[in-house]
Amino acid sequence: MASNPQQIALSGLARALVQHGRLTEQQATELADQAKASKQVFALELVQRGVMSSRDLARFCAETFGFPMLDIAAYDENQIPRDAIDRKLIAQHSVVPLAKRNNKLTVAIGDPTNLRALDEIRFQTGVAVDAIIVEVDKLFKLSQKLGESTSDQLKGLTGDIDEELGEMADAESSSSSEAEQNVDVDDAPVVKFIQKILVDAINEGASDIHFEPYEKYYRIRYRTDGILREISQPPLALREKIAARIKVISRLDISEKRVPQDGRMKLKLSANKAIDFRVSTLPCLHGEKIVMRILDPSSAMLGIDALGYEPDQRAALMDAVQRPYGMVLVTGPTGSGKTVSLYTCLNILNKPGVNISTAEDPAEINLPGINQVNVNDKAGLTFSAALKSFLRQDPDVIMVGEIRDIDTAEISIKAAQTGHLVLSTLHTNDAPTTLERMKNMGVAPFNIASSVIMITAQRLARRLCSCKRPIDIPIQALIDAGYQEEELDGSFELFGPVGCDRCKGSGYKGRVGIYQVMPVGEEIAHIIMTNGNSIDIAAEAQRQGIRDLRQSGLLKAKQGVTSLAEVLANTND
């Protein structure tokens, strides 16, 4: 019995839609012809023509063929193993690798009957492949983004540069002088590529850019809201060109590749706005890793209200920094926002009648009206040397970038005891341990008690995007997290991340500070003088109603500003 030639020509998905009465044979055949003519997959043609919504099609595929279904918009792009599948396969078949564990690769696919794509992936990767159904239009956008080569990105920036890019890629290594000569050409593709990387990082609100060479690939990552994510993989052969260009604009020695270097550069965005970058190079196994810290002066102009202090914390901090003398310490790990907090306080104090001097390593944000000094250990300009000079310069306010040793600590305390307000940072976990750390450095308890007037410990948690949704958490889990039973009266609800276009599917947008603001009053000073430890100080702080970091974080979660998961990840119980 002869078969219908139209039926034979239909793909597995088209045939299934006809069999289930979702399409007529004529509709399916016309769509198949149109997809062939436009050189795209049948499922995408079906959605773009408005015959079915992408959601309905994904649900049909999952139910008909027995595959699980996933909303790809809520999936974190940072988790995608981009090297698991060849870029050409990703773009050609509109598939995206989601996870790779042991000998199994999970891929997102819009048409589960596309056996050719699955077979090619198995052949190329040599591992078993599991498919998950996702909406085909979202999958297509993501696959094109992942499948786009760096050459294509450069082409979009500089026009037709195939020949020039090929010449650069052929030269695996070049002399430093050649590199400098090539990257100084205004229309060179590497120059425009780096400029795009910098501008995109600023527009996305990134805090750092990482340029990382490895044996078989080169990648660029942004740190946004505290999370690193890959944004590009330039050709490996361009690593020397990229490093040389960054060194040139940062005024570093491009011929020196054996030792770390530090520099700065400025990118002018408009007549009134320029962004500074702090640049650090580090010789690694396969080339120089470069990290650029983005220093936006506007972050110091946000004002104290934008930093996330609770009203009582803000009032206590403002009371401390308005005093004529004493020491205010800000503590926390690297990247916790200490510098922004200090500069915000300095900006409040920066008035015509106040002389402010800072010693930093290096000065991160340029503030007019403040005398900023970069320490230089090699030249003998250490923190302690700078502080000694400040005391001869008639200062009112002194800011020390970091108290690292006993000399700096003692001079800072001397300044605080002799009529100056001193602001500084220490790397400790919370406010009570800061006082114990100073004792361990060799500072006499009497000097600590008589000079330190305020300690602020802080962390940065990711702020929930507006797409957040209420979540149910068991009462026992809330109690374990730190909530009191009497609080759990149903008067508040906690929120969790969802993911949307605004937050790029992560569920978070921006960051908020979590603070422990501890004034050093008579009771805490007495504990210090009697050689009490950080546990005694913490107990007294609790008795005074001073919230620790976990309690401050739980309050932020109650307010719906961040999620409980973020609080638990950033604070200790």
Q: Print the SS3 string covering 35-70.
A: HHHHCCCHHHHHHHCCCCCHHHHHHHHHHHHCCCEC
Amino acid at 545: G
CA distance 56 to 3: 30
CA distance 218 to 363: 30
Q: Which of 91, 74, 47, 88 minimizes the C-alpha distance to 132? A: 74
Please list the residues that pair with 107 across neighbouring strands: 97, 131
Cα 522 to Cα 327, 385, 446, 449, 540, distances in angstroms: 15, 32, 12, 9, 11
The residues near 543 (Cβ < 8 Å, ≥ 6 apart) are: none
Alpha helices in 279-392 (DSSP H): 311-321, 338-349, 383-390
Structure tokens given for 219 = 């990648």
CA distance 92 to 143: 9
pLDDT at site 171: 47
What is the residue-wise DSSP string for 281-308? Answer: EEEETTEEEEEEEEE-GGGGGS-GGGGT
CA distance 317 to 305: 12
CA distance 288 to 300: 31
Q: Are 356 and 395 in contact (CB under 8 A)?
A: yes
First to last CA, the chain: 75
Rg of the Cα trace of the chain? 29
The residues near 171 (Cβ < 8 Å, ≥ 6 apart) are: 237
Amino acid at 393: Q
Cα 570 to Cα 190, 215, 432, 550, 562, distances in angstroms: 38, 34, 18, 8, 11
Structure tokens given for 242 = 């990229």
pTM for this predicted structure: 0.64
CA distance 219 to 200: 16
Amino acid at 79: Q
Please list the residues that pair with 328 across neighbouring strands: 423, 454
Identify the three-state secondary structure at position 160.
coil
C-alpha count within 13 angstroms, C-beta hemisphere, residue 401: 17
Average pLDDT for runs of 10 along the chain of length 573: 45 85 87 79 83 88 87 76 75 82 84 85 83 87 66 43 44 42 53 87 88 93 89 87 91 90 84 82 94 79 78 93 93 85 89 91 81 85 88 91 88 91 90 90 90 94 91 90 87 88 82 93 92 91 94 93 91 77
Q: Are 543 and 566 in contact (CB under 8 A)?
A: no
The residues near 75 (Cβ < 8 Å, ≥ 6 apart) are: 98, 108, 499, 505
CA distance 401 to 336: 14
Residue 531 backbone class (left: φ over 0; alpha: ψ -120 to 50; beta: rest)? left
CA distance 397 to 383: 15
Beta strands in 412-521 (DSSP E): 421-426, 452-464, 469-470, 495-496, 508-519
Question: How many Cβ atoms are within 10 Å of 319's Cβ, its own excluded?
Answer: 12
Q: Pairing mode, if any, of strands 227-232 and 218-224?
A: antiparallel
CA distance 475 to 485: 8
CA distance 141 to 148: 11
pLDDT at site 177: 42
pLDDT at site 522: 92
CA distance 516 to 550: 9
